[in-house]
């Protein structure tokens, strides 16, 4: 039987361990240099001879002290150093929590992102927090929202239920971007958020048989994505922000851990969910370092 002194030592040790882990999760891991998460795959409908390197950012959540304009500029340098053909931004540039020491304005984070450079360009979509932070757009039930205006002002196109055709080495590839699936907050307590996404209408704009890369901030759309789409890229979940042994206790998805993080293959369809760079609700990351995606296709 454990003695009283042994019990108190156990309690004291457990408390100190909890404090240390909490300090690491709140003060250290969120500030670590972004890890480059690399994937290499040849998805369906991918033409022989087309090699495409995509670099992607998700969930920046710009704010002080964690995701300052200076830190975003440093991440931009890291992305450019990967020599991508194309850079994609997967939404949620706006801070998603009140626990900040100061704002990073849309003009500031957009200015930092304007340094992204790739031969095929930089394309973006918007996320739920970008919509939720814009009170005028919420009341109007429509955009363009502040985040979109900030991105477009620095020359970064925003795709909301729209497509762009790119070409590399004589091969075409379509980038399709969905409007956000949780864009409008509920008018009454208990009602769901209203999405502005139109998957069918977006894909109807694709004009030929070239492969499609779909950008969808929330991964919950994936079960309805047709096989015609070669790859879906998402963010939003942050990998749960806390991830232990491949499991995230809390995931902002109705599918739980099914689409929490990483490369998911279902019925020969491919989804990659980024763990993101910032955080929402609480400034905590544990077992889920900030990450930049590098995806080599073909």
Dist. CA 282–CA 207, nearest whole Å: 43
The percentage of residues in the chain with a pLDDT greater than 70, rounded to a whole number, is 89
Short-list 226, 176, 180, 246, CA closest to 45? 226
The percentage of residues in the chain with a pLDDT greater than 90, rounded to a whole number, is 83
- Kindly state the greatest CA–CA separation across the chain: 76
Q: Judge whether residue 13 has pLDDT over 60.
A: no
Q: For Cα atoms 153, 221, 296, give the angle at the middle one, nearest 5 degrees.
A: 70
Give the number of other CB atoms < 10 A from CB of residue 169: 11
Q: What is the pLDDT of residue 184?
A: 98
Do 108 and 191 sit in the same domain of this protein?
A: yes
Do 18 and 142 sit in the same domain of this protein?
A: no
First to last CA, the chain: 62
Q: What is the pLDDT of residues 154-189, one digit of tens each?
A: 999 999 999 999 999 999 999 999 999 999 999 889
Distance of CA 296 to the CA centre of its chain: 18
Q: What is the pLDDT of residues 211-233, one digit of tens each?
A: 999 999 999 999 999 999 999 99
Number of domains in the chain: 2
Q: What is the pLDDT of residue 19?
A: 33
DSSP code for 197 = -
Residue range of the domain that includes 4: 1-31
Give the pLDDT band (50/70/90) at residue 197: very high
Do 189 and 247 sit in the same domain of this protein?
A: yes
Q: Between β-strands 231-234 and 212-215, what pairing exists: parallel, antiparallel or unpaired?
A: parallel
Q: Is 5 exposed, middle or buried (0-12, 13-18, 19+ CB in 10 A)?
A: exposed
Do 12 and 151 sit in the same domain of this protein?
A: no
196 touches 183 (CB < 8 A): yes
Q: Judge whether residue 7 has pLDDT over 50.
A: no
Q: What is the pLDDT of residue 187?
A: 87
Q: How many helices, marked H, and strands, marked E, lie in the chain?
A: 7, 13
CATH code of the domain in which 77 resides? 3.60.21
Do 172 and 261 sit in the same domain of this protein?
A: yes
At 108, give phi and psi (nearest 5°).
Answer: -75, -50
The pTM of this model reads 0.90
Do 18 and 38 sit in the same domain of this protein?
A: no
Q: Judge whether residue 2 has pLDDT over 50.
A: no
Q: What is the pLDDT of residues 25-59, one digit of tens each?
A: 444 545 556 899 999 999 988 999 999 999 999 99
Q: Is 4 exposed, middle or buried (0-12, 13-18, 19+ CB in 10 A)?
A: exposed
Dist. CA 285–CA 43, nearest whole Å: 31
Do 149 and 282 sit in the same domain of this protein?
A: yes
Do 214 and 68 sit in the same domain of this protein?
A: yes
Q: What is the pLDDT of residue 12?
A: 43
């Amino acid at each position: 039987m454990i003695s009283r002194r042994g019990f108190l030592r156990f309690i004291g040790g457990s408390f100190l361990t909890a404090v240390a882990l909490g300090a690491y999760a709140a003060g250290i891991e969120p500030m670590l240099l972004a890890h480059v998460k690399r994937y290499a795959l040849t998805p369906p409908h991918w033409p022989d001879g087309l090699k495409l390197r995509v670099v992607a950012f998700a969930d920046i959540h710009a704010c002080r002290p964690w995701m300052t304009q200076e830190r975003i500029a440093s991440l931009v340098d890291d992305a450019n150093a990967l020599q991508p053909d194309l850079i994609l931004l997967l939404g949620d540039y706006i801070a998603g929590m009140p626990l900040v020491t100061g704002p990073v304005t849309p003009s500031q984070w957009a200015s930092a992102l304007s340094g992204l450079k790739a031969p095929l360009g930089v394309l973006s979509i918007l996320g739920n927090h970008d919509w939720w932070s814009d009170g005028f757009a919420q009341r109007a039930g429509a955009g363009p929202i502040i985040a979109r205006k900030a991105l477009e002002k620095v020359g970064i196109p925003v795709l909301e239920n729209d497509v762009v055709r790119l070409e590399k080495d004589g091969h075409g590839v379509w980038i399709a971007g969905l409007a956000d699936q949780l864009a409008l907050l509920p008018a009454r307590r208990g009602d769901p958020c209203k999405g502005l996404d139109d998957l069918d209408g977006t894909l109807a704009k694709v004009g030929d048989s070239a492969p499609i890369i779909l950008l969808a901030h929330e991964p919950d759309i994936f079960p309805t994505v047709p096989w015609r789409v070669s790859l879906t890229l998402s963010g939003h979940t942050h990998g749960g922000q806390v991830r232990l042994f491949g499991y995230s206790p809390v995931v902002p998805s109705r599918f739980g851990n099914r689409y929490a993080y990483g490369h998911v293959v279902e019925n020969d369809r491919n989804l990659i969910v980024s763990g993101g760079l910032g955080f929402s609700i609480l400034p905590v990351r544990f077992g889920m370092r900030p990450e930049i995606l590098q995806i080599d296709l073909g």
